[in-house]
Amino acid sequence: MAKGLGNIMKQAQQMQARIARVQQELESREVEASAGGGMVSARVNGKQQLLELKIEKAVVDPEDVEMLQDLVLAAVNEAIKQSQDMVQAEMGKVTGGMNLPGLF
C-alpha cells in the first residue's frame, strides 16, 4: 500500500514539474488579435499580459471615440481569449485532459 502511495506522489511531483516547465515556456509565447480590419491589434503572452497595443492613425477620430474604444476592447479581449485557449491546450497535453483546478 505504501509503495502505491509513493508511486502516486512521485507521479504527482513529475506532473507538477512538467506543468511548471510549460507555464514558464508559455510566458514567452505570444498571440496577436486584431479588430476593425487590422486597424487595432493587441499582442498578449501566455500569462494573459498585454504586451503591445497598436492603433492605426486612420481609426483615431475625435468625433467617434466610442468606436475606437470598442475596437480596442475587441482586439484585447480576443487576444486574451486566444492566450487562454493556448494555455489550456498546452496544459491539457501535460495533464492528459484532466481538469486540475488551481494548477494553471
Q: Are 55 and 39 contacting, i.e. CB atoms less than 8 angstroms apart?
A: yes
Mind listing the pLDDT tens digit for each residue in 62-102? Answer: 999 999 999 999 999 999 999 999 999 988 888 776 665 55
Dist. CA 38–CA 35, nearest whole Å: 5
Percent of the chain as helix, strand, coil, to the nearest 5: 60, 15, 25
Mind listing the pLDDT tens digit for each residue in 18-31? Answer: 888 888 888 899 99
Residue 47 identity: K
Distances (CA, A) of 15 to 11, 69, 74: 6, 42, 35
Taking CA 34 as the corner, what is the angle to CA 32 and CA 39, rounded to the nearest 5 degrees? 130
CATH tag, 2-95: 3.30.1310.10
- pLDDT for 99 equals 61
Dist. CA 44–CA 52, nearest whole Å: 7
- pLDDT greater at residue 5 or residue 72: 72
**pTM for the structure as a whole:** 0.77
Band of residue 1 on the pLDDT scale cut at 50, 70, 90:
low
- pLDDT for 93 equals 86
Angle, helices 65-95/2-28, rounded to nearest 10 degrees = 150
Mind listing the pLDDT tens digit for each residue in 42-61? Answer: 999 999 999 999 999 999 99
- pLDDT for 102 equals 55
- pLDDT for 85 equals 95
- pLDDT for 15 equals 84
Query: So where are the chain's domains?
Result: 2-95
